[in-house]
Amino acid sequence: MASITEYYAGKSVLITGATGFMGKVLVEKLLWSCPDVKALYILVRPKAGQTMEQRVSHMMKCKLFDRVREANPDFHKKIIPISSELTQPGLSISPEDVEKLSACINIVFHCAATIRFDEPLKHALQLNVIATQELLSLAQRMHHLEAFIHISTAYANCNRKHIDEVIYPPPVEPKKLIESLEWMDDGIVQDITPRLIGDRPNTYTYTKALAEYVVQQEQDKLNIGIIRPSIVGASWQEPFPGWIDNFNGPSGVFIAAGKGILQKNKRIWRKTPKTTLVYNCTSGGINPFHWGEIEHHVISSFKRNPLEQAFRRPNANITSNYLINQYWILVSHKFPALIYDLFLRLCGQKPQMMRIFNRLHKAIGLLEYFSSQDWEWNSDNISMLMSQLTPEDRTMFNFDVRQLNWPEYIENYCIGTKKYVLNEDMSDIPAARQHLRKLRNIRYTFNTLLVVFIWRVFIARSQMARNIWYFVVNLCFKFLSYFRASSTLTN
Ligand SMILES: CCCCCCCCCCCCCCCCCCCC(=O)SCCNC(=O)CCNC(=O)[C@H](O)C(C)(C)COP(=O)(O)OP(=O)(O)OC[C@H]1O[C@@H](n2cnc3c(N)ncnc32)[C@H](O)[C@@H]1OP(=O)(O)O
Ligand SMILES: NC(=O)C1=CN([C@@H]2O[C@H](COP(=O)(O)OP(=O)(O)OC[C@H]3O[C@@H](n4cnc5c(N)ncnc54)[C@H](OP(=O)(O)O)[C@@H]3O)[C@@H](O)[C@H]2O)C=CC1
């Protein structure tokens, strides 16, 4: 049997979403571990004032590609950008490019998607479902296609508690939904979205479920693999530990905790985990790690490697109690934010803390569905795949999460958010630690003054408080006298 590296030798691969988080990692891994791959065709659109070429050249300068660049400075020659806007008919690929792709592509990886939880349904449907259909049509024109790999999510079927490696019936027939939404204006679609998505939390998981069904419909014509990762954080080992470039999933929450703008958090649990080619890529069933443990390691990691200019000391206590949570939001988030914004206003600067907290609460609200429930994923196909690999491939393409040391992973993850998401320098850590010590002293001083103030107010108003106070002071005095007398006798 050919090894994976041998299999890719001389092959041409088409990748959508190559400029995204997962796509970039895939491009890097293919270039590194399959150096004889013939070409990687990537569908890219112009964006944010940058042409397709500028975007690709910028992407290839990313630190992620350091080892590939070092091994082969000409690696960019294997990357062939194809202009494509996935929301347009025919993916807006030129007829010449369609010809080219039809003639040479052997494997397709479909990573592109909108992963926003608050995406309007029409747009999520357009990108996650209709564009997938278009890509499948294109794939059918490819004369040498061997596999179509669709990247889904382990949460596509999050309305179920036990998720097998099968395609479940879709919540609605995609074709009918597409036809109905076509004539509706955005306002109507927004109004009926909650009814449509039903027991799913957002348009993302809903449209990803529809996309799986759409892909499965082509299984008689194409060799299809559906990959369902759960939550993808920073890189584990390759190309180096801790690489991450976004705030998605839990990363934004980690950063918020590290910056001290997440003092208390809602309760989080975690207990994660056959048509033949669906792969649930989850870790909970094999190497579980609970949100409570994650919290502990994230906080202690950020105390060792603090982020710059933290608002408060890293913290995030998990609570399931709604009232306690609301209390901490008020006391630990809103009140300090208000004071800080007032301070900024007095200094003639624009207030910003309240805005950051509101954004954070919105993000946490959207994540809460996932962080407060348990799912059980069957991952037999993943285990089977692992057992079929040669020992060399198992090392080169290591996805055995049993070997993952969670505390070490979380440490690298946190350092990765500091270095690659926030672009902070590791040499600033001593200054950041000094800043945390200053924050701790401010907190102690503030708390002491607060206690003294409250007590003084209380004493001034209540005879009973005064009596208790005199009783306690008297008791302390007596205890001290007794202690002094007994120590004089002993001497
Ligand atoms: C230390 C305590 C830890 C204890 C553990 C606690 C963990 C709790 C968290 C649990 C997380 C559970 C996560 C489960 C997720 C499962 C999902 C399924 C898996 C997937 O398929 S992955 C894809 C998931 N998709 C996402 O994660 C995207 C979610 N994001 C959004 O939908 C939007 O970004 C959001 C949150 C609605 C915000 O939208 P908007 O207000 O329009 O802002 P922008 O997106 O334009 O961003 C503006 C600006 O803010 C930055 N940003 C984005 N998100 C965050 C964030 N969470 N925290 C901080 N900052 C964030 C963004 O980069 C932009 O910055 P610019 O500089 O570009 O302006
Ligand atoms: N990250 C995670 O934790 C998980 C991700 N997944 C899945 O993995 C896949 C990739 O996710 P991830 O890399 O995190 O997402 P990103 O948001 O980082 O990347 C999305 C990619 O899709 C492209 N794209 C979006 N809209 C268009 C468009 N209209 N035309 C052309 N390209 C477009 C983006 O291009 P551009 O740069 O031009 O915007 C980008 O390359 C998705 O299918 C997602 O569902 C599944 C589980 C977990």
Q: Are residues 416 and 288 in the same domain?
A: yes
Per the CB < 8 A criterion, the answer to whether 184 and 125 are in contact is: no
The pLDDT value given to residue 489:
65
442 belongs to a structural domain: yes
Averaged pLDDT for residues 284-312: 93
E strand or H helix that includes residue 278: strand 278-281
Ligand 2 surroundings by CB, under 6 angstroms: 17, 19-23, 45, 47, 84-87, 111-115, 127, 151, 153, 208, 229, 231-232, 246, 248-249
Per the CB < 8 A criterion, the answer to whether 49 and 13 are in contact is: no
- For the ranges 26-40, 104-118, 184-198, 265-279, the lowest mean pLDDT is seen at 265-279
Ligand 1 atom nearest the C-alpha of 158 is 18
Q: Are residues 420 and 293 in the same domain?
A: yes
Distance CA 473, CA 478 (A): 9
Per the CB < 8 A criterion, the answer to whether 42 and 27 are in contact is: yes
Q: Using alpha carbons, select from 137, 381, 123 the residue that is nearest to residue 277.
A: 381
- DSSP characters over 16-37: ESTTSHHHHHHHHHHHHH-TTB
- Residue 375 banded pLDDT, cuts 50, 70, 90: very high
| Closest protein CA for atom 13 of ligand 1 | 249
User: Exposure string (b/e) for 137-169, b if CB count within 10 Å is 16 or more?
Assistant: ebbeebeebeebbbbbbbbbbbbeeebbbbbee
The pLDDT value given to residue 269:
45
332 belongs to a structural domain: yes
pLDDT tens profile 179-234: 999 999 999 999 999 999 999 999 999 999 999 999 999 999 999 999 999 999 99
The pLDDT value given to residue 34:
98
Q: Are residues 303 and 257 in the same domain?
A: yes
- For the ranges 122-136, 245-259, 345-359, the lowest mean pLDDT is seen at 345-359
Whether 249 lines ligand 1, by a CB cut-off of 6 Å, is yes
Q: Are residues 262 and 296 in the same domain?
A: yes
Averaged pLDDT for residues 335-344: 89
Q: Domain limits at 456?
A: 434-490
* Token output for 236: 């584990």
* DSSP assigned state of 351: P
The pLDDT value given to residue 484:
83
- Residue 317 banded pLDDT, cuts 50, 70, 90: low
Amino acid at site 33: S
165 belongs to a structural domain: no
Give me the count of residues in the chain: 491
- Residue 326 banded pLDDT, cuts 50, 70, 90: confident
Pick the ligand that lies closest to the CA of residue 367: 1
Q: Are residues 306 and 415 in the same domain?
A: yes
The pLDDT value given to residue 352:
87
Q: Using alpha carbons, select from 466, 291, 315 the residue that is nearest to residue 371.
A: 291
The pLDDT value given to residue 187:
95
Q: Are residues 304 and 330 in the same domain?
A: yes
Q: Are residues 410 and 455 in the same domain?
A: no
- DSSP characters over 76-104: GGGEEEEE--TTSGGGG--HHHHHHHHHH
390 belongs to a structural domain: no
| Cα distances (Å, whole numbers) of residue 249 to 12, 21, 369 | 32, 12, 12
Averaged pLDDT for residues 355-384: 91
Number of Cβ within 10 Å of residue 12's Cβ equals 21
Crossing angle between the packed helical segments 251-258 and 291-304, to the nearest 10 degrees? 50
What are φ and ψ of residue 103, in 5° steps? Answer: -80, -30
* Token output for 230: 């759960």
Averaged pLDDT for residues 465-482: 87
Crossing angle between the packed helical segments 463-490 and 429-461, to the nearest 10 degrees? 110
pLDDT tens profile 58-106: 999 999 999 999 999 999 999 999 999 999 999 999 999 999 999 999 9
Ligand 1 pocket test target in 204, 320, 359 with most atoms within 8 Å of CB: 359
* Token output for 466: 């005064």
E strand or H helix that includes residue 121: helix 121-125
Q: Are residues 335 and 247 in the same domain?
A: yes
Q: Are residues 439 and 311 in the same domain?
A: no
- Residue 270 banded pLDDT, cuts 50, 70, 90: very low
- Residue 137 banded pLDDT, cuts 50, 70, 90: very high
202 belongs to a structural domain: no
- Residue 410 banded pLDDT, cuts 50, 70, 90: very high
The pLDDT value given to residue 160:
97
| Cα distances (Å, whole numbers) of residue 135 to 86, 112, 132, 149, 399 | 9, 11, 5, 11, 28
Residue 253 pLDDT > 80: yes
Q: Are residues 326 and 254 in the same domain?
A: yes
208 belongs to a structural domain: no
Per the CB < 8 A criterion, the answer to whether 99 and 59 are in contact is: no
Whether 115 lines ligand 1, by a CB cut-off of 6 Å, is yes
319 belongs to a structural domain: yes
471 belongs to a structural domain: yes
Averaged pLDDT for residues 102-115: 98
Ligand 2 atom nearest the C-alpha of 208 is 45
Residue 242 pLDDT > 60: yes
- Residue 263 banded pLDDT, cuts 50, 70, 90: low
Q: Are residues 407 and 441 in the same domain?
A: no
What are φ and ψ of residue 374, in 5° steps? Answer: -115, 140
Q: Using alpha carbons, select from 34, 66, 56 the residue that is nearest to residue 419.
A: 66
Q: Are residues 265 and 322 in the same domain?
A: yes
Number of domains in the chain: 2
